A and B are shown apart, each in its own frame.
Chain A
């Protein structure tokens, strides 16, 4: 029981990170009907920028964090929308998707050449102690990841469903044309979505980098698993991304524990295939109809 609980908590913690990144996939999908293939790099880069700010300005950790995070949200929230999405979306979703692939490479190679090809230590804001729960040693870092990720997702849900601004954002995602007729500032709402996506990526980055270390290639695994999570949960639902992330995290942890450490990476992919075959819209997703 204790063993199972330890695997479960570890899986939920990892899954919470995937969920944060997966929500980014769904937000971009809802506003621009495209897949951001740089989503994994969005989670990798904030940690690198924080360390870069500390290195360049000799800043203390808190100031470095502020500079790095602000720079990331500005460049990859606002900048991504204005410099990549807006010019490309006019040409259709496929060019935009390809542009995000290019962005992913630029971010990865930029982090590698501009900062370091080696992994770097990232400060943890949580002690690395463990607590005992029903005989299982639970890491405080995992508890912190779960608590912060769930709090952020809860806050997002409240914002989207419980505030005027959030409802405007939702309306924009559902039908931009009607939203515009109703007087909603659609462009501003779309921009806000991208800023929220960047902020979620920052949270994921700060939570996971003390464990994974900060490295230019971290986005590959996170991006892949978050993408799987978004499909498993439902690409058009924020709560679907949350559920998908948790399922993928737990399945990954349990596969390593009870099936095989050698084949653990294959198990989420098998799950993906099963979900696509049985419920293509995802476990929590809704079917979308298109007129052709």
Chain B
């Protein structure tokens, strides 16, 4: 008799499993949780988890709960390709991540071939110049950011010459190649062009080189940890010239790691929890309450990525993988329609974004927003 009950229970469970699975929509996040991109990747992952928890608590997407899976790429392009393929094989609804531009470039064709939207955190200008209709940024592209930086260096910093320090990977090379023509256009002389390595630990020689260039300002375009190490090395060498950066240099993690050396850093930031936007500040509070540290822009990007998928799905009123990309392309997501997007965001046809951004400065270990810049195409 007992055996019959067991068989009946097992049968019942087996029948209900597909039903349970149907109540969920799977999202796979492919991200740098170790290696050189660990800082950025961890923030991105935590932002995603926060968004998923929020959405699931409110009933999910079109009544389905989100099942989120994270795969660590170890900041390795080969691993990233494998992880994206695995995500697609496992039936992910959309691919989230990675954050580093090199691994994005190495893996984006896989999602493209599968006609699945891939929402990434990378900023390298070249990513959206390859005609990939399934790649979407969550941050401003270097193409959008660098003219603002050059203008800032000329008009606000009043720099006649600038030293450019960049990391020799896709992100850094893209930034370097984007800023130098903009500096030329602005009539600013390139004092010295310093390439550094991803994961580099010792920046003493680079800091000395920059110091001896006698540039009026230094444009620093490195990843989070390297940014902090460079700022520390610059302080060690007694560099007092303005340090100017783009988003990463003014990030919470860099400020935390660099300590006093980050004070005085200026630049342009695409996203910041310190911006005078209530939704950003609210996100910052929620993030800190959950993870016990301050989110940087990558946390916000991860959060927004999930909401972009949610918005596109609800817009098309059905779960259609290809439709997500079709719906996102060329759309403008307003906060009145989807509060989770945090700020009105226009998605260009090529996957680039257009939205307001900010000028900021680090004062007493805190990022202070000094101005809000409008969208490029308001």
List residues of chain A with CB under 8 Å of any chain B CB: 3, 6-7, 10-11, 13-14, 112, 117-121, 128, 130, 137, 139, 141-142, 211-213, 215-218, 221, 252-253, 256-257, 260-262, 264-265
For B233, list chain A residues within 8 Å (CB).
Answer: 211
List residues of chain B with CB under 8 Å of any chain A CB: 33-35, 38-39, 42, 168, 194-197, 199, 201-202, 204-206, 208-209, 211-212, 225, 228-229, 232-233, 235-238, 253, 256-257, 259-261
Is A215 a contact of B237 with CB atoms below 8 Å?
A: no
For A261, list chain B residues within 8 Å (CB).
Answer: 194-196, 205-206, 209
| A213-B237 in contact given A142-B204, A257-B209 (Cβ < 8 Å) | no
| A117-B42 in contact given A128-B260, A137-B238 (Cβ < 8 Å) | yes
Is A130 a contact of B42 with CB atoms below 8 Å?
A: no
For A217, list chain B residues within 8 Å (CB).
Answer: 35, 199
For B238, list chain A residues within 8 Å (CB).
Answer: 130, 137
Q: CA A257 – CA B237 in complex, angstroms?
A: 14
Is A10 a contact of B204 with CB atoms below 8 Å?
A: yes
| A253-B205 in contact given A118-B38, A215-B225 (Cβ < 8 Å) | yes
Q: CA A193 – CA B235 in complex, angstroms?
A: 38
Give the residue name and chain of the A residue nearest to B256 (CB): A121
Q: CA A221 – CA B208 in complex, angstroms?
A: 21
For A7, list chain B residues within 8 Å (CB).
Answer: 205, 208
| A121-B208 in contact given A215-B225, A262-B168 (Cβ < 8 Å) | no
| A130-B237 in contact given A10-B208, A117-B42, A262-B195 (Cβ < 8 Å) | yes
Is B236 a contact of A142 with CB atoms below 8 Å?
A: yes
For A119, list chain B residues within 8 Å (CB).
Answer: 38-39, 225, 228, 257
Give the residue name and chain of the A residue nearest to B212 (CB): A3
Is B259 a contact of A256 with CB atoms below 8 Å?
A: no
For A130, list chain B residues within 8 Å (CB).
Answer: 236-238
The 4 closest A-B pairs by CB, nearest first: A256-B205, A10-B204, A139-B236, A117-B38
* CB<8 Å pairs between A and B, sample of 24: A3-B212, A6-B211, A7-B205, A112-B34, A117-B33, A117-B34, A117-B42, A121-B256, A128-B235, A128-B236, A128-B261, A130-B237, A137-B211, A139-B237, A141-B236, A142-B204, A142-B236, A211-B201, A213-B228, A213-B229, A217-B35, A221-B199, A257-B208, A261-B209
- Further contacts, 9 of them, CB under 8 A, given A10-B208, A119-B225: A117-B34, A118-B38, A128-B260, A142-B236, A213-B229, A253-B205, A256-B209, A257-B205, A261-B206
Give the residue name and chain of the A residue nearest to B194 (CB): A261
A14, A128, A215, A265: the one within 8 Å of B204 (CB): A14
A112, A213, A257: the one within 8 Å of B257 (CB): A213
Give the residue name and chain of the B residue nearest to A215 (CB): B225
Q: CA A216 – CA B225 in complex, angstroms?
A: 13
Q: CA A11 – CA B35 in complex, angstroms?
A: 26
Is A10 a contact of B205 with CB atoms below 8 Å?
A: yes
Is A128 a contact of B199 with CB atoms below 8 Å?
A: no
Give the residue name and chain of the B residue nearest to A109 (CB): B34
For A216, list chain B residues within 8 Å (CB).
Answer: 34
For B253, list chain A residues within 8 Å (CB).
Answer: 118
Give the residue name and chain of the A residue nearest to B197 (CB): A265
Question: In angstroms, how far is the closest chain B Cβ from the Cβ of A161?
Answer: 32
For A137, list chain B residues within 8 Å (CB).
Answer: 211, 237-238
For A11, list chain B residues within 8 Å (CB).
Answer: 205
Q: CA A221 – CA B199 in complex, angstroms?
A: 9
Q: CA A43 – CA B189 in complex, angstroms?
A: 42
Q: CA A212 – CA B236 in complex, angstroms?
A: 13
For A218, list chain B residues within 8 Å (CB).
Answer: 201
Q: CA A258 – CA B21 in complex, angstroms?
A: 61
Question: In angstroms, how far is the closest chain A Cβ from the Cβ of B101?
Answer: 18
Question: In angstroms, how far is the closest chain A Cβ from the Cβ of B374?
Answer: 34
Q: CA A121 – CA B232 in complex, angstroms?
A: 11
| A253-B204 in contact given A118-B39, A139-B237 (Cβ < 8 Å) | yes
Q: CA A7 – CA B205 in complex, angstroms?
A: 6
Question: In angstroms, how far is the closest chain A Cβ from the Cβ of B250?
Answer: 17
For A257, list chain B residues within 8 Å (CB).
Answer: 205, 208-209
| A256-B199 in contact given A118-B38, A128-B260 (Cβ < 8 Å) | no
Which of B205, B228, B260: most chain A Cβ within 10 A? B205
Question: In angstroms, how far is the closest chain B Cβ from the Cβ of A141?
Answer: 6
Which of A14, A212, A253: most chain B Cβ within 10 A? A212
Q: CA A118 – CA B34 in complex, angstroms?
A: 7
For A141, list chain B residues within 8 Å (CB).
Answer: 236
Is B204 a contact of A13 with CB atoms below 8 Å?
A: yes
For B199, list chain A residues within 8 Å (CB).
Answer: 217, 221
Is A211 a contact of B202 with CB atoms below 8 Å?
A: yes
Question: In angstroms, how far is the closest chain B Cβ from the Cβ of A204?
Answer: 13
For A213, list chain B residues within 8 Å (CB).
Answer: 201, 225, 228-229, 257
